[in-house]
Amino acid sequence: MTFRFETLKTEGYARRGRLFTAHGTVETPAFMPVGTAATVKAMTPEALRETGTEIVLANAYHLMLRPGAERIADLGGLHRFMNWPGPILTDSGGFQVMSLAKLRDIDESGATFRSHIDGTEHHLSPERSIEIQQLLGADIAMVFDECTPYPSTAEETARSMELSLRWAERSKAAFKSSPGHALFGIVQGGVYPELRRLSAGQITSLPFDGYAVGGLAVGEPKPRMLETAALSAELLPADRPRYLMGVGTPQDIVAAIGMGYDMFDCVLPTRNARNGSAFTSEGKISIKQA
C-alpha cells in the first residue's frame, strides 16, 4: 500500500482524515498510545485494540539500548516482537537524548551519550537513527532532531534549529523508501514565532510524507505552548498529516484538533492510570481517594 493521507471532512481548521500505511489505515484525528520499549505499560495489545487504538508509538532510543534494533529485526521486526499488527510510529530518539541520557555531547555528527541504563557510551547520528527505525520496521519514522530545551535564548534556539535542519536533510538522504512507509520532518524553533516560521519554511521545502511540530510541552507556560502550536499548524501544508508531538491532556488534544492537527502522543494517559488517576467529564479524579 502506498503511504498517503486523505482529508475527508473539515470544519474551521479542524479536519477528519485517513492515513494509509503498510500495516493498515488510521482514522484521524488519532491519539497514539506510547509503547516506549515495545509495550504500552499495563496494557495488552488486545486491550489496546479494544479501546479503538489504531496506531502506537515506540522509541528508537530505548529500543537501540535494549534489546537492540538488530535483535528485534532478527526476531521478525517490531510488529511481531510486540504483537501489534497495526501501524507503528517510532520517535527518533532526539527528545530522549535531551531528557534521559547522561553526559551527552552534541555536535554536527550527532549525539554521543551514556546510557541511562548502564552508563555505556553510544553515538546516535541521523543516519543511525534512521537505520534503527527501519530495522524496527516502523510504518512512520521521524527525522533525528535536537529537541531544544526550555528555557533557551533566541540565539541558542536558532543554533539548535539550524542543526536540526541539517540533521533532517541527512535523515532524508539516509531513508530508504518502501511501499507504505513514511518519514516525517519536524519543525523546531522553541517559543519564538520568527524561528518557528523560519523552521517551518525550511522543513516543508523538503518533500517529507508528513510534518511534526516538536519542542513543545517541555516546560513552557501553557498559553505559550498553545500559541506556538497554533502558529506552527498554519505553516504546514494541508495535504500532509500534521503531528503535534508530546501533547496528551484531553483539553490540549481538543484544542490542537481545532488548530488542524491530526496526530498526537503522550505517556500521560497510561502513566496517570498506573498511579490511580482518571480523566472524566468532571475533570481528573484520584481513584485512590474517590
Of 91, 139, 145, 209, which one is the catalytic site residue?
91
Q: For residues 73 and 80, what is the distance between their CA atoms, to the nearest angstrom?
A: 10
Instruction: State the distance between the two ends of the chain, measured CA to CA, in whole angstroms.
Output: 48
Q: Is 265 a catalytic residue?
A: yes
Q: Which of 139, 145, 262, 265 is catalytic?
A: 265
Copy the grid coordinates of residue 66. Answer: 535494549
Task: Check if the beta carbon of residue 69 is closer than 8 Å to that of residue 79.
Answer: no
CB 65 within 8 A of CB 115: yes
Give the rounded distance of the alpha carbon of 2 from its chain centre.
Answer: 21
Is residue 91 among the annotated active site residues?
Answer: yes
Looking at the chain, list the stretches that DSSP marks H as alpha helix, in order from N- to C-terminal side.
45-50, 60-65, 69-74, 78-81, 94-99, 126-136, 154-174, 193-204, 222-234, 250-259, 268-274
Catalytic residues: 91, 265
